């Protein structure tokens, strides 16, 4: 039975499965693997585990070998090439007056291809730009337009919580985020307070959403009339984390009590 191993090429990037073969691999090891773009340098994030070949959609590509010092020197060389290519591309964009925001350049491991990542409000005619890059750099060029959330993930940054943004730190992929999640958690609906660096709704709104939904099933609905030892009143607000509800008594007074202290619902 073959064994598969999880390999990640970027911090917080997607984990890809490869066939480990006869290699003894541990989490944190660096390896050279076969990819559709040629050889690539990746880090082991999931140790080898047996896999049933009948359950895989397509054959797994193999781990080529363990990474050597020469491979790390090649990676450092590629990083320097990326910086130089980024600087030159910005000069070309300015010269051609293109309406695009270049934010990252990535080199293939064998340095035969450079991918330029950018954002733009619309379509960009970058044919002349590609010609200038090929003439200067002498490698294959790919221009890739991505969304604003992908830009935030690739560039990183510090969120309003004071920590590294989630998509860059540990999230492998983006999930759907809706304004309903903020409402369910009783958060301010002010866009400036629930939006991340990318200008979209913060990904962390999804983390506790299911917990709030589960907790609220034990609460009387807002507007429901209930009886407490302080008298009768209507529910005006929930506090699921503290297991408490706010009630407006018939006399107009607002109080907050624990859900367990409700005598009955009317």
Greatest CA separation for the chain:
82
Query: Above 70 in pLDDT, residue 56?
Result: no
Query: Above 80 in pLDDT, residue 74?
Result: yes
- Cα–Cα distance for residue pair 167/203, rounded to 1 Å: 8
Contacts of 79-83 spanning 24+ positions with Cβ under 8 A = 79/107, 81/107, 81/111, 81/114, 82/106, 82/107, 82/114
The more confidently predicted of residues 97 and 55 is 97
**Residue-wise DSSP of 147-160:** -HHHHHHHH--B-T
Is 129 exposed, middle or buried, given 0-12, 13-18 or 19+ CB atoms closer than 10 A?
buried
Which domains are seen in the chain, by residue range? 3-67 (no CATH), 73-146 (3.30.300.20), 151-210 (no CATH), 225-265 (2.30.30)
The two three-digit tokens of residue 100, written as one number: 């695009």
- Cα–Cα distance for residue pair 102/167, rounded to 1 Å: 20
- Cα–Cα distance for residue pair 170/153, rounded to 1 Å: 10
Query: 219: pLDDT confidence band, cut at 50, 70 and 90?
Result: confident
């Amino acid at each position: 039975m073959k064994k598969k191993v999880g390999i990640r090429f970027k911090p917080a990037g997607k984990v890809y499965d490869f066939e480990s073969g006869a290699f003894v691999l541990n989490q944190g090891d660096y390896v050279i693997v076969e990819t559709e773009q040629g050889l690539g340098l990746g880090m082991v994030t999931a140790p080898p585990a047996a896999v049933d070949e009948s359950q895989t959609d397509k054959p797994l590509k193999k781990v080529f070998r363990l990474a050597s010092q020469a491979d790390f020197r090649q990676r450092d060389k590629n990083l320097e090439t990326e910086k130089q290519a980024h600087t030159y591309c910005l000069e070309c964009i300015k010269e051609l007056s293109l309406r695009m925001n270049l934010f990252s350049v990535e080199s293939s491991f064998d340095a035969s291809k450079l991918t330029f990542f950018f954002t733009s409000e619309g379509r960009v005619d970058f044919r002349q730009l590609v010609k200038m890059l090929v003439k200067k750099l002498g490698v294959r060029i790919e221009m890739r337009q991505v969304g604003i959330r992908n830009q935030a993930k690739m560039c990183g940054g510090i969120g309003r919580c004071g920590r590294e943004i989630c998509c860059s730190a540990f999230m492998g992929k983006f999930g759907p985020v809706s304004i309903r999640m903020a409402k369910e958690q009783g958060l301010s609906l002010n866009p400036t307070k629930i939006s991340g660096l990318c200008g979209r709704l913060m990904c962390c709104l999804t983390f506790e959403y299911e917990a709030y939904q589960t907790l609220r099933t034990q609460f009387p609905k807002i507007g429901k009339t209930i009886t407490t030892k302080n008298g009768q009143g209507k529910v005006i607000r929930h506090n699921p984390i503290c297991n408490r509800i706010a009630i407006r008594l018939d006399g107009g007074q607002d109080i907050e009590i624990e859900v367990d202290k409700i005598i009955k619902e009317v």
